[in-house]
Amino acid sequence: MRKPKAIPAARIEDALKAGLPGLQHRAEHLSYQYHLPTKLGTLLISPCDGAIRMRFEEVSLAAPCGASLNPYSGKWNFEGLDDGSLIGRAINWIERIAVQPLERTL
């Protein structure tokens, strides 16, 4: 049986931008290109081929669900993304802790 191919980082990045309205590009281009305000603190995010690699700026005492949180480094990664539905599931878990941006009213 053939192993599914990892989803390219560009496709994962597009899905993150579409699914997380509070996602913000970081001015400095370090290991994590994006950040997202969450209920557990700022989440740094890097879309990679077949993965969403993330870490909290400050390690939270509470752990989010959906993937294991490293309690020492604050890393919370979704690996093995080889199917579009897996990206959607990962975004759903991230969205659960995201602080929603204020809606503009006219």
> What pLDDT does 1 receive?
62
Percent helix, strand and coil across the chain, each to the nearest 5: 25, 25, 50
**What pTM value is reported for the model?**
0.87
- How sure is the predictor about 2, in pLDDT bands with cuts at 50, 70 and 90? low
Does the structure show a pLDDT above 80 at 19?
Answer: yes
> What pLDDT does 66 receive?
83
> What pLDDT does 100 receive?
80
* Residue tagged 């005492």 (tokens): 61
- How sure is the predictor about 60, in pLDDT bands with cuts at 50, 70 and 90? confident
Does the structure show a pLDDT above 80 at 11?
Answer: yes
